[in-house]
Amino acid sequence: MLVIPAIDIIDGKCVRLAQGNFSNSTVYGENPIEIAKNFEKQGATFLHIIDLDGARLGYPANAEIILAIAKSVNIPLQVGGGLRLYEQAQKYLENGIEKIILSTVAIENPELFARLLEDFGSQRLVTSVDVRDGKIAIRGWLEESTKTIPALIGALRRAEITSVIVTDISKDGLLEGPNFDLSKKFINAGFQTIVAGGISSLEDAEELNKLGAIGVVVGKAMYEGKINLRKAQERVAYKNNLAKRIIPCLDVKNGRVVKGTHFSNLRDAGDPVELGKRYCEMGADELVFLDIAATLENRKTFCDLVSKIAKEISMPFTVGGGISTIEDIKNLLNAGADKVSIGSAAVQNPNLIKEAAKYFGSQCIVISVDAKKKKQGWKIYIKGGTEETNVDAIEFSKQMEKFGAGELLVNSLDRDGTKKGFDIELLKSIAESVNIPVIASSGAGSMQDFLYVFQKTNVDAALGASIFHYQEVNLIELKKFLFNNNLPIRI
Amino acid sequence: MIAIIDYKAGNIASVKNALERLGQSCVITSKPKEILAADGVIFPGQGRAGPAMLELQKTGIDKVIPQITKPFLGICLGMQLLGEVSEEDRTKCLKIFQGACRKFPPTLKTPHLGWNKVELTRESTLTRDIRNGSYFYFVHSYYVDTSERQIAGKTSYGFEFASIMQKDNFFAVQFHPEKSGEQGLRLFNNFCELC
């Protein structure tokens, strides 16, 4: 999370107001440029600059000094205050200002907002949401809008706003802590949320980081030495050690591994348990066992196999193939599987997923997404890729997340068996559309392909079958290779 | 004999499997008497906090757990239920540890699923011979937000959260030792040696 020092300007000077009251201001410096440079020296990576005269008057009044700040520092600035016209916004955005902060322009003047969006892109526009005693404030915090917060959230969404700065004016400049509940409303509604107003300790910043804010604007607390910038940055730095997973997939028929494997030193290369154990020793992060001849008769054989695997392997494993009822899922989980992978049944009966997630928890429900590129996007195929449906793969993925799926296993029918590499375009599209883990499958032909899929997309795991069985890629070497290429890999 | 508490919450057979691989005798039970008589107790779990607490209240296990003086190990949901409250289903929990169970923010993929590192923050018999920074297997959408002094291990997912807690005879881990290969078995073995 970013810790963003605030510089508020009145009459060319750096000031702080308390509770947005213009008659209650403290001057902290005569020269905002020096203050900005000083923040940069202290380690700031972003600055928040408000033209308070501009906000009050309705047009930028300190633009010159703000543009001079932009020239004097090497860190990006977000700037707001009195921006009501296209030309004013353009002047900033074309002269070194990274982002502009608009008040509720997006709602009051949708044409202007649409034009700015079109010309500069959503990443450069931030909407400022200012709330006082539960009501939205506009025009330099001097007026109140009649909109409620839920109504405002709806309107912001309709205006396709992605990024907001939420300020509780009644908390601003008081050093009594921010409004966590208000912040949470916007974060949970899916906005990239920066929180301002009242942040007065490292604990406040830490709490907002845990709530999912992408930044905090700190004013008075920093000027008065209550928050040390570097300490705050360290406290809320993004830390993540979750490893990318490599998952061998074993096809099983009548309790035996099909596609004969080329492990010379296995006693019985067709035994799923022995092969699974070997893969675990080699560093597999998980295993998938697919029952490829899933018929009623051999269902029991498969369940017996699952309990044998569970007894002998201390690693997570997923099972799949022909699962179509709650009863199927229950039997396999009871036999000791950690997760079940559901394909055709999820497409034909999406409610099964809702029910399964409710009964067993999302964490054990994996959806197998079998997709093939068509003229318009990717379509879902069912029955082992033999039957086309009219279901859009991206929409289906989102629906499955909503229904409670815990993970997606994405197969590209265009790449399956080709060894031409993973379908980057498909995987990127799906991984960016959902907020649950995604496993890449189909098409791996080399170690480079695995590296590439992790570098180019946000997938969490990659799956391989024959490439591992035939030792075209050695699992141990693959993991070393990925690790040496700076990926988070468990070795 | 180690008692594995059965409260209809998820894949407990894999805990039994792992203990048996270590040659440790164990019993899956929901009987207060058996739980109190065991040399050690494992409190595993997956699933939701609300129904899990209801089940514990129904069987009276919620009253038994605080009385246990033998080594006790909560796993995943079993760790979360040892805190004071959970955001999940707004559940009142067992209050063995201080702290509240909270959902990961929407800016992070949930569940937090896969192998993540555990940084050991203090010495503990539970983690004897386990290298600092070892990987363990996690699957969860909630984490325990607790005070520094109860934490024995931390993990980073967006920010640092408690992945091992310890207080007197009570241990808790957010990850699944039964699914964490060699390191997981070592942790179980350390626990069994305490019992």
Domain ranges of chain A: 2-236, 245-484
Task: Give the model's pLDDT for residue B12.
Answer: 82
Which residues have CB under 8 Å from A431's CB, separation 6+? A438, A457, A458, A459
CA distance A200 to B12: 45
Interatomic CA distance for residues A300 and A332, integer angstroms: 10
Residue B76 burial (CB < 10 Å; 0-12/13-18/19+)? buried
Q: Is the pLDDT of residue B95 over 60?
A: yes
Q: How many CB atoms lie within 10 A of CB A486?
A: 9
Tokens 């999940």, located at residue:
B88
Residues with Cβ within 8 Å of A25's Cβ and at least 6 positions away in sequence, in order, are: A10, A15, A16, A17, A18
Only one residue has tokens 């000031």, namely A15
Question: In this structure, which topology does domain B2-194 adopt according to CATH?
Answer: Rossmann fold (3.40.50)
Rounded to an integer, what distance in angstroms lies between the CA atom of residue B57 and that of residue A445?
A: 54
Active-site residue, from A172, A328, A370, A460: A370
Three-class DSSP category at A178: coil
Please confirm, yes or no, whether B140 is among the known catalytic residues. Answer: no
Q: Is the peptide bond before A32 cis (omega within 30 degrees of 0)?
A: no
Averaged over successive runs of 10 residues, the pLDDT of chain A (491 residues) comes to 96 86 82 95 96 91 96 96 93 96 81 92 91 75 71 86 91 86 95 94 95 95 92 94 97 80 61 92 95 76 92 94 92 92 95 93 94 95 90 97 97 92 97 97 95 97 92 94 97 90
A residues 453-482 lying closer than 8 A (beta carbon) to B? 460-461
Q: Does A265 touch chain B (CB under 8 A)?
A: no
Q: At what angle do helices A149-158 and A180-188 cross, to 10 degrees?
A: 30
The pTM of the full predicted model, rounded to 2 decimals, is: 0.91
Residue A423 is given by DSSP the state -
The CB density around residue B23, as the number of other CB atoms within 10 Å, is 8
What is the distance between the alpha carbons of residues A37 and A42, in angstroms, rounded to a whole number? Answer: 9
Is B180's CB within 8 Å of A310's CB?
A: no
* CB < 8 Å to A285, chain B: 114-115
Topology of the domain covering A245-484 = TIM Barrel (3.20.20)
pLDDT in tens, B118-143: 999 999 999 999 999 999 999 999 99
Of the listed A251, A423, A449, A460, which one is catalytic? A251
Distance from CA of B135 to the nearest CA of A (A): 7
Q: Does A363 touch chain B (CB under 8 A)?
A: yes
Of B105, B145, B178, the CB nearest to A314: B178
Q: Please tell me which residue in B26, B76, B101, B192 is annotated as part of the active site.
A: B76
A206, A170, A165: which is closest to A187 by C-alpha?
A: A165
Q: DSSP 3-state helix, strand, coil percentages of chain A (rounded to 5)? A: 40, 25, 35
Q: Domain A2-236 is in which class?
A: alpha beta
Residue numbers in A near B176 (CB within 8 A): 316
Supply the pLDDT for residue A268: 65
Does A18 lie at the interface with B, CB-CB under 8 angstroms? no
In this prediction, residue A474 carries a pLDDT of 95
> Residue A281: closest CA among chain B residues belongs to which residue?
B181
Tell me the CA distances in angstroms from A202 to A171, A176, A199, A245, B157, one per residue in order.
17, 13, 8, 34, 19
A251 is catalytic: yes
The predicted pLDDT at position A395 comes to 97
Contacts of B187 in chain A (CB under 8 A): none
The Cα–Cα gap between A1 and A229 comes to 13
Query: Hey, which residues 59-118 in chain B have their CB within 8 Å of chain A?
Result: 102, 105-117
Helix (H, G, I), strand (E, B) or coil at A230: helix
Taking the domains of chain B in order of start, what are their residue ranges? 2-194
Rounded to the nearest angstrom, the minimum Cα separation between B82 and chain A is: 20
List, in sequence order, every beta strand (DSSP E) within A30-84.
47-51, 77-80
Distance CA B20, CA B16 (A): 6
At residue A124's C-alpha, the angle toward residues A118 and A127, to 5°, is 95
CA distance linking residue A182 with residue B80, whole number of Å: 27
B148 pLDDT band, cuts 50/70/90, is confident
Percent of chain B with pLDDT over 70: 99
The answer to whether A478 and A438 are in contact (CB under 8 A) is no
